[in-house]
Structure 1
Amino acid sequence: MTGFLGDVMCWSATADLVAGTGIAAVGVVCVVRLRRARDLPLGALPLLLGTHQIIESAVWRSGGGTGPATLAWAVVALPLLAVWVPFGVWLAAPPSVRSRLVVPVVVGLLTSVVLAYFLGTRPVTAEIRGHTLGYVLDLPHAPLIVAGYLLATVGSLLLGGDPLLRLLGVLVAAGAAVCAALWRLEFISTWCAFAAVAAVVMLAWVRRRPEGPAPPGMSGARSPASR
């Protein structure tokens, strides 16, 4: 179904660049503060989403089309996030919670494979439409794929066993509902921008993480308690 990707809420290259830089900066703070390697993928989510917005600023500046920036944006938005979020939640979760995260992780992996296949075999195009950018990808069975995508991403956050992750899950679920109501199937770009803003919740999550071995390359970092 053509039009699975659609209008976004970012109005210019400058807006994407400024927002992306700010969110990525929050992500850097999150990564620096983390003390456990298994928390890194989830803690780096704002950095990934901020970088995603910066990539979109490059799509603006290139005039849209099917260039490398457009493909890079779609790779992050679709197959990468579908597997990154549930796997990150699973890694960070305590052992007692991980069993209920198996379904989102498996669904995310399968959804990621399907999306990667279609991105590898069909072109994704960015179109400048006045003050918005639109993305078009011919994606069969879009409702089923969207359901798997949301189960993997939002579902894992809601089932992660942490109140702040649950809050983030509620926020991005509400964002998905609003974007779907306004843009129907053309909601993924708007939702990604909303999720990037909501990801600043991760800073509070990082501050509450327990102590543990520092991630590789950060062994000299001081713990928050020692500052």
Structure 2
Amino acid sequence: MCWSATADLAAGAGVAAVGAVCVLRARRRTDLPLAALPLLLGAHQIVEARVWDTGGGTGPATVAWAVIALPLLAVWVPAGVLCAAPSHARRRLLLPLAAGVATAAALAQAMTVRPVRAEIRGHTMGYVIDLPQPELVIAGYLLATVGALLISGDRGLVLLGFLTGAGAVICWSLWELEFVSTWCACAAVVSVTLLGWVNSREAVAPQERVRQA
């Protein structure tokens, strides 16, 4: 989410490019879901450029944006963390995954009953969705996404969790003030951090193969 269609297109292309590098450099199949996350985030921003161009509303671009941001990410992130996490951490990661599945179901049901509406608010794009018990849904979403990273047992992913949590608070505060949308900057930080994580995993993988041999 950026402050204009042009900014969203530029940021989305850059984030997607980082995602392509992440996928190409990933050496473990279990790392691919997280390595591909920047591709999804980049596509998300490019979709929002279309939302800007159409002036908001409830059209297909708004629906696509909401599907990616809400139910899809709520499951994608904890599932990706579970795949990549060390074996000793996987049992505890079932909790954020379950929270993600339940949250995604609630969000999908809400989106089915009432359409999501996008509204241009100054230099930000606001999305309106009627949620039953919104505080519970938000808590489940944060547990599934940020929480999964923080309890992953992987140093790089824990760092990503702290950066994502702090970035979300800052971006949400600026967005609420309708000053400027900086979610695209948060997506860029997440993507670059994931690239560093993928590179560190690439360096460890050959050592593990030597020990196994």
Cα separation, 1, equivalents of 2:133 and 2:72: 19
SS in 2 for 1:140: coil
Equivalent residue of 1:177, what SS? Answer: helix
Structure 1 stretches of 4+ with a deviation exceeding 3 A read 179-184, 190-195
Distance 1:51 1:41 in 2: 15
2:205 is matched with: 211
Q: How many residues align?
A: 201
Moved more, 61-70 or 173-182: 173-182
Q: What secondary structure sits across from 1:157 in the alignment? A: helix
Q: Which stretch has the larger CA shift, 112-121 or 128-137?
A: 128-137
Gaps of 5+ in 1: 1-7, 213-227
Partner Cα distance (1:54, 1:124) in 2: 18
User: What letter corresponds to residue 163 of structure 1 in structure 2?
Assistant: R
SS in 2 for 1:211: helix
**Residue segments in structure 2 that go unaligned for 5+ positions in a row:** 207-213
For residues 81-140 of structure 1, give each alpha carbon's deviation from its aligned partner in whole angstroms, at most 9, with x where no partner exists. 000000000001121110111111111111111111111111101112233211111112
CA drift of 1:166 comes to 0.9
Q: Deviations over 1:169-199 (max 9, x none)?
A: 0011112333455556x99xx5853541222
Equivalent residue for 2:188, pick from 197, 207, 217: 197
Give secondary structure in 2 for the equivalent of 1:166: helix
Letter in 1 for 2:121: R
- Shift of residue 76, structure 1, vs aligned partner: 0.5
Q: Tell me the residue number matched to 1:20.
A: 12
Q: 2:24: which partner in 1?
A: 32
Kept after mapping to 2: 8 A contact 1:111/1:149: yes
CA RMSD of aligned residues (A): 2.0
Match of 1:167 in 2: 159
Quote the residue 2:109 is aligned against.
Answer: 117
Q: TM-score, normalised by structure 1?
A: 0.82
By percentage of residues, which structure has more helix?
2
